[in-house]
């Protein structure tokens, strides 16, 4: 009796999520095997692996893969290294610590489109931007960030958004660090560096792993920042996998090829998810 | 220098370093905020102006030019609608899993988490085509459905961890008094976890409000929430920095404040309870 009520209560979310997962994914798989362009409806013959071939031989494919991985690794390194350093810095009390914390985490709550536009216009514009003004004041030639270093520009924007997340997680994790252990180490004459290296870093190992995995899921799918700031260009210079697929689907209307690309993205994310779920699952007590 | 003096000096140095870095990282937001009170000419002046006579005209122009309130209303409807809908669906499941766990409960929770790992771009095409065929493109309802499903795993997961922390004795007492499972849930569990449900909802609102992928791809002029409306300011014709800043400030201010209040839930929700 109890059993059936429990099932009934769980049914809505389980069924909805199952539909949400299975229906679109099987459609993606189906589309990836047929010739399907929104501009030429009705000619949906089976084409086997041709869409995959098309996607992989697209001139942008390898650039997009390399950009996706460069973006991912750069942002991960920046956010984790700076995140650990900054959260260790603000772990000790000082005047106005709470305000500092609020300031540090705020960029995470700025919507991606606004983020991209603030940086594109007000910071990185080669004529009127703050960076150009700083360069000029120092007697240097201003840099046209978005044209000359498009991928670096996107990396800056995305890191600015995700560094606060890393800080937030690490600060939360540091609060649960054993203070007695630290004090004992201090009594024994350990320096600040030693405490950081041998107590703080090991304590943060798990949170770091979690941050890396969560960020990976989101960073593989960076879209809005590129869409608003560089439009993937110049050329393919700042196109990542997500943007390339969008380009195929909604700009070139090629559903078949876009679906094949989508499956690549799913595959990439699944490899990461596998490790994440194992890590979280270990700590889950029911 | 004595040891206490050394300590004091260190605290001061740490304070200065932290404040400097925090102000640098916050600067773009600060700059957006003050630019929204400038005229367009002041906004692009070189050198940048920190002191000027503030004007409110950008805020009125933004409303006239891009119908700000309509898009703000779209954001409100979609984030609150999706949050309420997701809570209604998630509460019974989380309750069942927390209080009547079976052999498979853990697997179901992990499976739910795994659906969150599916990259949106992998299902962009079918969702776009389904929305088109069912007339959901560029409608509030379409976005509400997507947002609900998108956040459902996080919401179930967070509610589950709140419910699990409730004292079991109270429930047993209620059961002894002959309460039905339904009565237990509505009369005992829900009143006790109002705080947890509220902060879960808050997190969900923040996530929906800032969602950009689906908003950009599934809406046009009618149902575009603020994330998509702001993107229309990226057009290269003319510089509208002051107006862009005004629109952005209005769009971000409420959510930044919400965010300050739900920091803890954010960590818990986004890391699926792996970091507390």
pLDDT-based confidence at residue B276 (cuts at 50, 70, 90):
low
Task: Indicate the Cα dihedral angle B106, B112, B113, B116, nearest 10°.
Answer: 180
More confidently predicted of A189 and B80: B80
Using CA coordinates, name the residue in chain A closest to B152: A13
- The pLDDT-based confidence of B42 (bands split at 50, 70, 90) is confident
Report, in angstroms and rounded to the nearest whole number, the Rg of chain B calculated over CA atoms. Answer: 24
Mutate to test the interface with B, among A2, A72, A113, A285 (most CBs of B within 10 A): A113
Which H or E run includes B126? helix B124-133
Which chain B residues are closer than 8 Å to A221 by Cβ?
119-121, 213
List of chain A residues whose C-beta atoms are within 8 Å of the C-beta of residue B272: 280
C-alpha distance from A102 to closest chain B C-alpha (Å): 7
Residues B131-165 as b/e (b if ≥16 CB within 10 A, e otherwise) read beeeebbbbbebbbbbbbbbbbbbbbbbbbbbbbe
Please report how many Cα atoms fall inside a 13 Å half-sphere around the Cα of residue B212, on the Cβ side. 23
Cross-chain residue pair B112–A13, CB shorter than 8 Å: yes
Instruction: Provide the H-helix boundaries in chain A.
Output: 2-31, 50-57, 61-89, 97-105, 112-117, 130-137, 145-148, 150-175, 179-187, 192-195, 201-219, 224-229, 241-246, 255-282
Query: How far is Cα B171 from Cα A198, in angstroms, rounded to an integer?
Result: 44
Residue A282: list chain B partners with CB under 8 A. Answer: none
What was the pLDDT predicted at B142? 92
Q: Shortest CA distance to B117 belongs to which of B150, B82, B155?
A: B150
Question: Residues 6 or more apart from B134 whose CB is under 8 A from it?
Answer: none
* B119/A224 CB distance under 8 A: no
**What distance in Å separates the CA atoms of residue B248 and residue B230, rounded to the nearest whole number?**
7
- Ordered domains of chain A (ranges, CATH): 49-282 (1.10.3720.10)
Determine the Cα–Cα distance for residues A90 and A104; give it in Å rounded to an integer.
Answer: 10
What string of DSSP letters covers B173-194? HHHHTT--HHHIIIIIIHHHTH
The domains of chain B, with CATH numbers, are 68-228+251-270 (1.10.3720.10)
* Cα A127 from Cα A155, distance rounded (Å): 21
Closest Cα of chain A to B78: distance in Å?
A: 15
Count of CA atoms in the C-beta half-sphere (13 A) of B93: 25
Nearest to A206 by CA among B271, B162, B186: B271
Q: Three-class SS of residue A117?
A: helix
* Residues of chain B found within 8 Å of residue A250, distances taken between Cβ atoms: 124, 128, 217
Q: What are the φ/ψ torsions at residue A128 (nearest 5 degrees)? A: -105, -5
Residues of chain A below pLDDT 50: 1
- Residue B38, min C-alpha distance to chain A (Å): 13
Distances (CA, A) of A218 to A221, B116, B117, B162, B213: 5, 10, 9, 25, 11
Decide if B122 and A263 are in contact by the 8 Å CB cutoff.
yes
Position B112 confidence tier, pLDDT thresholds 50, 70, 90: confident
Which pLDDT tens digit goes with each residue over B137-186?
999 999 999 999 999 998 998 898 888 888 878 777 877 877 777 777 78
Is the confidence at residue B38, as pLDDT, over 80?
yes
The reported pLDDT for the residue numbered A76 is: 93
Q: What is the pLDDT of residue B73?
A: 93
> Please, what is the angle between helix B241-261 and helix B263-270, to 10°?
80
Instruction: Say how far apart CA B160 and CA B117 lie, in whole Å.
Output: 19
């Amino acid at each position: 009796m109890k059993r059936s009520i429990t099932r009934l209560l769980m049914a809505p979310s389980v069924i909805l999520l199952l539909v949400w997962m299975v229906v679109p994914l099987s459609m993606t798989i189906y589309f990836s095997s047929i010739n399907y362009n929104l501009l030429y409806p009705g000619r949906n013959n089976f084409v086997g692996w041709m869409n995959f071939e098309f996607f992989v031989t697209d001139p942008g494919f390898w650039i997009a893969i390399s950009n996706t991985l460069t973006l991912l690794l750069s942002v991960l390194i920046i956010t984790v290294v700076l995140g650990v350093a900054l959260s260790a810095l603000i772990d000790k009390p000082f005047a106005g610590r709470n305000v500092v914390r609020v300031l540090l985490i705020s960029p995470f709550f700025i919507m991606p489109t606004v983020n991209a536009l603030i940086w594109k216009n007000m910071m990185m514009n080669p004529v009127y931007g703050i960076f150009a003004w700083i360069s000029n004041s120092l007697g240097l030639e201003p840099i046209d960030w978005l044209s000359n270093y498009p991928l670096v520009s996107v990396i800056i924007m995305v890191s600015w958004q995700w560094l606060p997340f890393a800080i937030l997680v690490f600060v939360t994790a540091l609060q649960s660090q054993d203070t007695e252990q630290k004090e004992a180490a201090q009594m024994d004459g350990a320096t600040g560096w030693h405490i950081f290296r041998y107590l703080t870093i090991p304590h943060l190992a798990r949170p770091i792993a979690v941050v890396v995995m969560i960020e990976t899921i989101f960073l593989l799918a960076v879209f809005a920042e590129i869409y608003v700031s560089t439009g993937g260009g110049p050329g393919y210079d700042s196109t990542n996998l997500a943007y390339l697929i969008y380009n195929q689907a909604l700009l070139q209307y090629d559903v078949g090829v876009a679906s094949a690309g989508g499956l690549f993205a799913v595959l990439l994310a699944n490899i990461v998810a596998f490790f994440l779920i194992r890590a979280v699952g270990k700590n889950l007590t029911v | 220098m004595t040891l206490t003096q050394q300590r004091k000096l260190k605290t001061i140095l740490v304070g200065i370093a932290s404040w400097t870095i925090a102000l640098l990282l916050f600067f773009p937001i600060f700059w957006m905020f003050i630019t929204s009170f400038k005229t367009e000419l002041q906004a692009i002046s070189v050198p940048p102006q920190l002191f000027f006579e503030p004007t409110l005209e950008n805020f009125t122009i933004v409303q006239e030019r891009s119908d700000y309130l309509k898009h703000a209303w779209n954001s409100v409807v979609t984030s609150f609608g999706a949050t309420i809908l997701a809570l209604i669906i998630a509460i019974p499941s989380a309750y069942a899993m927390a209080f009547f766990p079976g052999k498979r409960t853990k697997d179901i929770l992990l499976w739910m988490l795994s659906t969150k790992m599916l990259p949106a771009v992998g299902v962009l095409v079918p969702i776009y085509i389904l929305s088109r065929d069912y007339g959901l493109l560029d409608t509030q309802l379409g976005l509400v459905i997507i947002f609900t499903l998108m956040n459902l795993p996080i919401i179930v997961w967070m509610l589950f961890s709140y419910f699990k922390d409730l004292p079991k004795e109270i429930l047993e007492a209620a059961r002894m008094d002959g309460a039905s499972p339904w009565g237990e849930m509505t009369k005992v569990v829900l009143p006790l976890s109002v705080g947890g449900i509220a902060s879960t909802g808050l997190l969900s609102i923040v996530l929906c409000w800032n969602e950009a992928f689906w908003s950009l791809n599934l809406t046009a002029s009618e149902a575009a929430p603020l994330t998509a409306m702001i993107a229309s300011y990226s057009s290269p014709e003319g510089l509208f920095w002051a107006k862009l800043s005004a629109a952005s400030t209005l769009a971000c201010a409420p959510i930044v404040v919400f965010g300050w209040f739900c920091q803890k839930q954010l960590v818990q929700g986004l890391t699926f309870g792996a970091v507390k």
